[in-house]
Chain A
């Protein structure tokens, strides 16, 4: 399972980097989206993988008494990733706005702001 997640992160990073290196704004935005997926999953996996142990619900009350944390997933990376998902949406929106605005102003969607000369 760990290998699956790791390779998924790798594939997303690879696709994201490839898209990041394209010449037009839209693929770059998609690339950034893929990279932020990968980053979120990466941060999430820092808490290691846990099956059937959401750190949620009445069972948490028992943890306070017994101190037994065994079946639960690490809640900290989850909290970090939760806000990261929302923030990365905000950033994507901002870059999209840049792309749209630069298209409207410069009449090209090339990342350098002008059509290649050749």
Chain B
């Protein structure tokens, strides 16, 4: 539980600086200081269990069926990293308090920092590999926030984006690697993975898993050729650089290699790949660092170089090399953090960190000069500084590896110590440059700022780190000895071919006597100083070379990808609806047709078929003629509409033929209002369509149409000729006893599937309301292409319409009432009523009908839905479920009683909803047409009745 709190405190605490920053800057800094301080205390309280031999593991089940647990682990390696993260984190918070400008929002800075800290702690303390990956991604995201802290600077945004792109894609690779490892071992628990090293190394998937994991580690740790994101991330505020690039972010990759060392290391592939990448990175980074003018840039490349050194040592894989790697992680974290902070102070006080504008600062900033000098000495590996010890170890291992397998077999094995020495030479050169060009030499005429030694709080953290570097160089075992030993033990147990520590090993030693590594150090210092003196010519030589920065390549790759995706998008999504639909239909055809094509299928089934009769064939022929005519005549719109109407009529006849009387009535009445609707639409639209598609396009469309039609036809034929099972039998047998009606279709609508019907009438009402809200608006600026007809309303229709209305309404009531037992019901009665009402509009005109029919159809529709809902809720009164229906006997004079099912109320709701919405739609569309042509109707003037044949 304590372990969990170590991670949780910074994560939970990240709200504190946000809240406290409203109060004061100091409050924000203090609130950011507290969570890591407590976490560090908790961590130290666990020292004995971390160093107890067995790792401390705590576990909470999360998704156990996927092997995902919230499991944490504390061993020597995790302890060392967690200690560095928290301790240097505290120093960075302190330093940042003085560093941040009063314009910089402290809340956002500190909360991102705490988020990052929590994520890093999660990485180093995870026991579950997937959990580790999750925290790993979180470090990428939170470092993006930190690097892009000054988001108003374009280079900061660019640097942040680049860091995220590189480390994020590495994270993707790592996920793949973790999945492979989990697959091989059968568990994501690190304990089991680390114990299965031999299984993993002999597995077929070892190489891909290794490649993916290393890709993740190399991108995160800025190894060549992925190193270029790190210098570009220097746009971050200096505390962030000091934190991310000394102790945390870039060390996560190193941590991963050390963590999985027992599982993955020990093969020749590991040794060659990891140590070669490390050595190349070391030399390239150190070389570029010499020619950097920006102090932070110099430190960034130096960081890359040192990360390369650590990677190379991990690659060597022998026990002492791992020990050296871990020791150097600790040392590098200390001196590099101090140097970044020094650079930050110089920048803060002198106003620039370009060495060409600096010099002679030792006079005005003696304290900072001293600290910078000591830190650089550690970086260069001067004796009695911690950097010296781990560098000697590196030289020693380089010499050792050149004489042992697997390097021994190579003729170029002698290169190993040579390359190591070159790295040492270059690192001496840039370390000298860091000190000399900044603090010594001639003082320029003026600085952009006013250099002076800052307050104790600002340089205090630097001093502490420098002290660690110096004391650690003199009495290393006291400062870091046991921590480093336990960490390296955790990283190397389980690798069978690793040598045990030499018998004579008594901790890290300062003096090994005069030996080859010492000689290499000596060469490094002499030649390094020489390189420093000729730095000018190196820089000008370098600048004469073609510029092959990784940043440029990255950017051209990026713009290439952008151009590619733009081309793809523009070609696919060119704004043409026709093209989208064609793509969609083609996709459906392929997706639906391919399985049939591959598996083959029998079109006709075994079910016995009905014999066609003459009437059906005639109906079929009319339908086909109508459908084909609609498609081929579509440019003459009225004709096309008539053809569609013909198809609709034939459909309703088909329903009659195939025992669906309710459907036939519905289809017929809908057909009437549908044609009315489409005619109304034609008022506002052109009468004809222009011919504008090319022949090729039409051929494509005909092809798609035939494909779709053929497919639909074949599928329905296939289905209709096969037997099936249905719940229809249940509905048929239970309709009367339980639904109290003999019209099964109606019983299904109002009872068995009443809830469904309720949803459907709601959709209808919503469609009507949506139509209303869309068809509003004032008279357009340009005149409408059409004016209303001036002819008299058709006389015969006008004379017939009114008496007809009474008859139709009576029929509607009859159909409504009998609907539960005979064909009919709310839907059909509603549609018939609508037709009766709408005919009045056709016969007499809007004004005449509106004057006589002062009804708010929208309200009627809503009332209909409400009645349906209320009738459903009535069941609650009888302690029954929503929409349960019953039947009651209502006494009636003369005929004794009438059996009245409660569904009649529900059906009434359906009826009203249908009448209300369909009327609303048609009337609103008609009114819109009228407004477009004549301007909105003035509500104050009474409607004029034109040509009323009934007027006396």
Within 8 A of B (CB), among A63-118: 63-64, 67, 69, 72-79, 81-83, 85-87, 89-94, 96-101, 103-105, 107, 109, 111-112, 116
* Bound form: Cα–Cα A40–B640 in Å: 20
A78 pairs with B662, CB closer than 8 A? yes
Q: How far is the CB of B835 from chain A (nearest CB, A)?
A: 12
Residue from B651, B726, B749, B768 in contact with A47 in the complex, judged by beta carbons closer than 8 Å: B726
| Contact A92-B736, Cβ < 8 Å, known A17-B705, A51-B657, A56-B823 | no
| Contact A42-B742, Cβ < 8 Å, known A60-B736, A91-B767, A97-B925 | no
B744 pairs with A29, CB closer than 8 A? no
Q: How far is the CB of B769 from chain A (nearest CB, A)?
A: 10
Q: Which residue of B lies closest to A88 (CB)?
A: B670
Interface on chain B toward A: helix, strand, loop, or mixed SS?
helix
Check if B515 is an interface residue, CB within 8 A of chain A.
no
B609 pairs with A97, CB closer than 8 A? no
* Bound form: Cα–Cα A1–B177 in Å: 60
B760 pairs with A86, CB closer than 8 A? yes
Within 8 A of B (CB), among A16-46: 17-27, 29-30, 33-34, 37-38, 40-42, 44-46
Residue from A4, A25, A111 in contact with B620 in the complex, judged by beta carbons closer than 8 Å: A4
Across-interface contacts of A12 in B (CB, < 8 A): 623, 627, 647, 709
Across-interface contacts of B929 in A (CB, < 8 A): 100
B92-106 interface bits toward A, Cβ cutoff 8 Å, 1 = contact, 0 = none: 000000000000000
Across-interface contacts of B710 in A (CB, < 8 A): 10, 14
Q: Which residue of A lies closest to B635 (CB)?
A: A27
Check if B30 is an interface residue, CB within 8 A of chain A.
no
A85 pairs with B663, CB closer than 8 A? yes
Across-interface contacts of A22 in B (CB, < 8 A): 578, 634, 689, 693
Q: How far is the CB of B694 from chain A (nearest CB, A)?
A: 11
* Bound form: Cα–Cα A73–B745 in Å: 10
B749 pairs with A82, CB closer than 8 A? yes
* Bound form: Cα–Cα A103–B689 in Å: 13
Binds A, one of B154-162, B364-372, B772-780: B772-780
Across-interface contacts of A52 in B (CB, < 8 A): 659
A15 pairs with B659, CB closer than 8 A? no
Q: How far is the CB of B797 from chain A (nearest CB, A)?
A: 23
* Bound form: Cα–Cα A82–B746 in Å: 10
B616 pairs with A4, CB closer than 8 A? yes
A26 pairs with B682, CB closer than 8 A? yes
A100 pairs with B724, CB closer than 8 A? no
B668-692 interface bits toward A, Cβ cutoff 8 Å, 1 = contact, 0 = none: 0010011001101110111001101
Q: How far is the CB of A44 from chain B (nearest CB, A)?
A: 7
Across-interface contacts of A74 in B (CB, < 8 A): 726, 728
B768 pairs with A55, CB closer than 8 A? no
| Contact A78-B663, Cβ < 8 Å, known A6-B714, A56-B823 | yes
Check if B660 is an interface residue, CB within 8 A of chain A.
yes
Residue from A4, A11, A69, A82 in contact with B729 in the complex, judged by beta carbons closer than 8 Å: A69
Binds A, one of B163-171, B249-257, B280-288, B715-723: B715-723
* Bound form: Cα–Cα A77–B659 in Å: 12
Q: How far is the CB of A7 from chain B (nearest CB, A)?
A: 5
A89 pairs with B673, CB closer than 8 A? yes
A18 pairs with B660, CB closer than 8 A? no
* Bound form: Cα–Cα A112–B573 in Å: 12
Residue from A6, A33, A87, A96 in contact with B760 in the complex, judged by beta carbons closer than 8 Å: A87
B617-635 interface bits toward A, Cβ cutoff 8 Å, 1 = contact, 0 = none: 1001001100110110011
* Bound form: Cα–Cα A54–B767 in Å: 31
Q: Which residue of A lies closest to B914 (CB)?
A: A86
Check if B412 is an interface residue, CB within 8 A of chain A.
no
B612 pairs with A75, CB closer than 8 A? no
Q: How far is the CB of A73 from chain B (nearest CB, A)?
A: 4
* Bound form: Cα–Cα A38–B822 in Å: 27
B719-760 interface bits toward A, Cβ cutoff 8 Å, 1 = contact, 0 = none: 111001011110111111100001111001100010011001
Interface on chain A toward B: helix, strand, loop, or mixed SS?
helix
Check if B576 is an interface residue, CB within 8 A of chain A.
yes
Check if B275 is an interface residue, CB within 8 A of chain A.
no
A44 pairs with B663, CB closer than 8 A? yes
* Bound form: Cα–Cα A37–B630 in Å: 13
B685 pairs with A103, CB closer than 8 A? yes
B735 pairs with A20, CB closer than 8 A? no
B742 pairs with A103, CB closer than 8 A? no
Q: Which residue of A lies closest to B610 (CB)?
A: A1
* Bound form: Cα–Cα A51–B944 in Å: 53
Across-interface contacts of B610 in A (CB, < 8 A): 1-2, 49, 51
Q: How far is the CB of A100 from chain B (nearest CB, A)?
A: 5
* Bound form: Cα–Cα A99–B667 in Å: 24
B824-850 interface bits toward A, Cβ cutoff 8 Å, 1 = contact, 0 = none: 000100010000000000000000000
B732 pairs with A63, CB closer than 8 A? yes
B782 pairs with A107, CB closer than 8 A? yes
A64 pairs with B659, CB closer than 8 A? no
Q: Which residue of A lies closest to B605 (CB)?
A: A2
* Bound form: Cα–Cα A98–B928 in Å: 12
A116 pairs with B634, CB closer than 8 A? no
Across-interface contacts of B728 in A (CB, < 8 A): 47, 55, 69, 74-77
Q: How far is the CB of A56 from chain B (nearest CB, A)?
A: 5
* Bound form: Cα–Cα A103–B684 in Å: 7
* Bound form: Cα–Cα A53–B609 in Å: 16
B670 pairs with A100, CB closer than 8 A? no
Residue from A38, A44, A92 in contact with B674 in the complex, judged by beta carbons closer than 8 Å: A92
B770 pairs with A76, CB closer than 8 A? no
Q: Which residue of A lies closest to B736 (CB)?
A: A64
Check if B771 is an interface residue, CB within 8 A of chain A.
yes
Residue from A14, A25, A56, A94 in contact with B744 in the complex, judged by beta carbons closer than 8 Å: A56
* Bound form: Cα–Cα A19–B698 in Å: 11
A63 pairs with B925, CB closer than 8 A? no
B775 pairs with A15, CB closer than 8 A? no
| Contact A56-B662, Cβ < 8 Å, known A27-B634, A89-B673 | yes
| Contact A75-B731, Cβ < 8 Å, known A18-B631, A87-B760, A97-B771 | yes
Q: How far is the CB of A34 from chain B (nearest CB, A)?
A: 6
| Contact A10-B709, Cβ < 8 Å, known A64-B735, A107-B782 | yes
Across-interface contacts of A18 in B (CB, < 8 A): 631, 701-702, 704-705
* Bound form: Cα–Cα A64–B613 in Å: 32
Residue from B667, B690, B756 in contact with A83 in the complex, judged by beta carbons closer than 8 Å: B756
Across-interface contacts of B247 in A (CB, < 8 A): none
Check if B712 is an interface residue, CB within 8 A of chain A.
yes
Across-interface contacts of B613 in A (CB, < 8 A): 1
| Contact A76-B764, Cβ < 8 Å, known A11-B628, A27-B640, A99-B681 | no
**What 3 A-B pairs have minimum CB-CB distances, sorted nearest first?**
A10-B713, A14-B709, A6-B717
Q: A14-B706, A90-B921 are in contact. List 13 more A-B contacts (CB 8 A).
A: A27-B634, A29-B681, A33-B644, A33-B674, A33-B678, A34-B647, A40-B651, A56-B662, A64-B737, A69-B733, A97-B771, A100-B925, A109-B685
24 A/B residue pairs, CB under 8 Å, sorted by A: A7-B717, A8-B624, A13-B712, A14-B627, A17-B704, A25-B685, A29-B681, A55-B732, A55-B743, A56-B662, A57-B743, A57-B821, A72-B744, A75-B728, A75-B748, A83-B760, A86-B670, A87-B760, A89-B674, A90-B768, A92-B674, A93-B768, A100-B684, A100-B685
